[in-house]
Amino acid sequence: MFKRKKTGKIKSKVVQYNGITFKSTLEKNVYVELVNNGFTPQYEPQSFVIWKGFSPTVNFYDKRTKKKGEKKGTHLELMNKKQKVKDITYTPDFMFEHKGYTVIVESKGFANERFGMIKKLFRKYLENNPNYIYFMVYNVENAKEMIKILKNEY
């Protein structure tokens, strides 16, 4: 079962099936539904850069690391301008081809704080790529409904 750590992170049960290590039981169950219905899903096959990082040029001050004898975060210091601000990436759970479309499936039992923003950025990314179909499934019933939609509408 899922347990929420004190940090607010969700710890899900890692499951192995068919030689694949899934990060949750839901991911495994969605995979099984897809395979049993004739689809060939790949598990976490690709990461997408949904926001390009950059090399900063503007001075940026942030709290410095704690030094001996001072309270944590009480002083500001100039951060290294040469350190690149990293890309924001997204790796969907499953991808597969279906009738000329690339189907992307994200199975989410519980979303973390970060995921709402990631989903919006990824949906914006997909606007320039019309041959994608994106599904969010939250349980096995959603997975079955997704399969019906794919078989009936695409």
The string of pLDDT tens digits covering residues 86-128 is: 999 999 999 999 999 999 999 998 778 889 999 999 999 999 9
What is the DSSP annotation of 97-108? EETTEEEEEEE-
Q: What is the per-residue pLDDT for 21?
A: 97
Q: Check residue 1 and give its pLDDT.
A: 45
For 19-65, the pLDDT digits (tens) are 999 999 999 999 999 999 999 999 999 999 999 999 988 888 888 66
Spatial distance between the Cα atoms of 144 and 33, rounded to a whole number of angstroms: 7
Q: Looking at residues 11-17, what average pLDDT do you find?
A: 89
**In the predicted model, is pLDDT for residue 7 greater than 60?**
no
Question: Which residues, other chains included, contact 19 with Cβ-Cβ below 8 Å and sequence gap of 6+?
Answer: none
pTM of the model: 0.80
pLDDT tens, 71-87? 665 678 888 777 899 99
E strand or H helix that includes residue 142: helix 140-153
User: Sorting pLDDT into bands at 50, 70 and 90, what band is 2?
Assistant: very low
70 falls in which pLDDT band (50, 70, 90)? low
Percent of the chain with pLDDT over 70: 86
Q: 90 CB contacts (<8 Å, ≥6 apart)?
A: 47, 48, 50, 118, 121, 122
